[in-house]
Amino acid sequence: MKNASRMIWIAVALAACSGAASVGPTPSPGPGSVTGTFIGVFVDGIETGVMSVIVPGVGGAPKATFYLPPFPSNSNLSVTYKPATKPQLTASGGGWTFTGDYSSLPSRFSGGFTGPNGVGKWVVLQEDTTFGVHVTCGSYSLVGSAASRWNLVRNDANQLAGVAWLPNAAIFLSGTVSGTSLQGITSVDDPTLSASGSYHAFPSTGADSTWGTVSEGGHVGTWVSSGCPSV
């Protein structure tokens, strides 16, 4: 059985392509205008980890690196980024296929993936030059249910995104940060979920800590997450 706590890092560099953007629930910028570094998290039933998407602009060559600690092995992913299609982003290799789209509020890429151990979801927020993007990886536990994974991403505008694993599926998370408080954490995939808590930031190291309470499907419990490995 594979170690459920192993981290997977994914670094993806994408070239911005021409053509009108077509995205999901929020409008995207025009052709070739989505550039920058996006950092976030992913989760499935066994793996949890950190990923980075880099869109360098016109002239950048699509490339990707896939790394599975603690094994010192890298494998290249085949990357396609086409703003005029859906899904806009596809990265595959080594038994993994990630697909997703860009949305502007907050600026992010998100989608689903299939890996050797099942399916999951991923989300990355755009990095700012001052605060950057901070990620935390952890777990939650509901009374009467086994503990599972709970990963969050925070950007410079104090917006939260994330992914968690329910007993049988991955879900997206969203919310906001106000001072040291985490507010209004909900899931578009599960209307019964709500959470709140505290956020302790360490801007110099990015090793932030978060914790709080969660309610889902009539069950209540707690969650905690802390700094993920740096990408």
- The model's pLDDT over 131-185, given as tens digits with 9 standing for 90+, comes to 678 888 889 998 877 778 999 999 888 899 999 998 889 999 999 999 889 989 9
For residue 171, the one-letter residue type is I
User: Pick the residue with more confidence: 58 or 175?
Assistant: 175
Q: Averaged over 56-73, what is the pLDDT?
A: 52
More confident residue, 13 or 122: 122
**How high is the pLDDT of residue 63?**
53
- B/e letters for 168-180, b = 16+ CB within 10 Å, e = fewer, are eebbbbbbebeee
* pLDDT range class, residue 194, cuts 50, 70, 90: very high
Q: Could you give the CA distance from residue 70 to residue 40 in angstroms, rounded to a whole number?
A: 20
Exposed/middle/buried for residue 208 (C-beta within 10 Å: 0-12, 13-18, 19+): buried
Percent of all residues in the chain with a pLDDT value above 90, rounded to a whole number:
29
Query: So what's the pLDDT on residue 68?
Result: 46
Task: Give the pLDDT of residue 123.
Answer: 93
The pLDDT of residue 3 is: 39
Tell me, what's the pLDDT at 30?
39
Question: How far apart are alpha carbons 150 and 130 in whole angstroms?
Answer: 26
Q: Is 88 exposed, middle or buried (0-12, 13-18, 19+ CB in 10 A)?
A: buried
Task: Give the pair of three-digit tokens for residue 207.
Answer: 């090793």
Give the model's pLDDT for residue 116.
84
Query: Looking at the predicted structure, is the pLDDT value of residue 39 above 60?
Result: yes
Looking at 39-48, 81-90, 221-230, which range is the least confident one? 221-230
What average pLDDT does range 98-105 have in this prediction? 90
**Whole-prediction pTM:** 0.82
Instruction: Look at residue 17 in the predicted model and tell me its pLDDT.
Output: 37
Give the Cα separation of 42 and 103 in Å (integer): 17
* Residue 118 in tokens: 């099942």
User: Residue 132 in contact with residue 224, Cβ under 8 Å?
Assistant: no
What count of other Cβ atoms lies within 10 Å of the Cβ of residue 118? 13
Question: For all residues of the chain together, what is the average pLDDT?
Answer: 76
pLDDT of residue 192: 93
Stretch 39-53: mean pLDDT, rounded? Answer: 85
